């Protein structure tokens, strides 16, 4: 069973010549019960990815699904809806 699905996730900070791409079209699926590690050098986007998964930081584009629920479908009122450790 799919626990987490990330589809074409992008996060860009800044504008014009000051743009920094933190996530560049990331796609990932994690099945329920899988053990997964997110590793990388400093500044590679690990925290940005985790913030996007938790609903703390809204991505520029793409989708995040936790247990089939679109994290950002509730974006207008309930972010971060995963902050207490469970889905609302």
**Residue 76 scores a pLDDT above 50:** no
Residue 50 confidence (pLDDT) = 93
Whether the predicted pLDDT of 75 surpasses 90 = no
| Euclidean distance between CA atoms 36 and 86, whole angstroms | 18
What number is the average pLDDT over the span 75-79? Answer: 52
Class in CATH terms, 2-74? alpha beta
Alpha helices in 1-88 (DSSP H): 46-54
| pLDDT per position as a tens digit, 43-72 | 899 999 999 988 888 999 999 998 888 888
pTM of the model: 0.79
Band of pLDDT at residue 73, cut at 50, 70 and 90: confident
Peptide bond into 2 cis (omega under 30): no
DSSP state of 40: -
């Amino acid at each position: 069973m799919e626990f987490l699905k990330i589809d074409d996730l992008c996060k860009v900070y800044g504008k014009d010549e000051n743009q920094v791409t933190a996530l560049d079209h990331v796609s990932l699926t994690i099945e329920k019960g899988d053990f997964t590690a997110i590793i990388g050098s400093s500044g590679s986007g690990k925290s940005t990815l985790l913030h996007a998964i938790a609903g703390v930081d809204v991505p520029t584009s793409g989708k995040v699904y936790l247990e089939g629920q679109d994290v950002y479908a509730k974006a207008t009122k309930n972010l971060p809806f995963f902050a207490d450790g469970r889905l609302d």
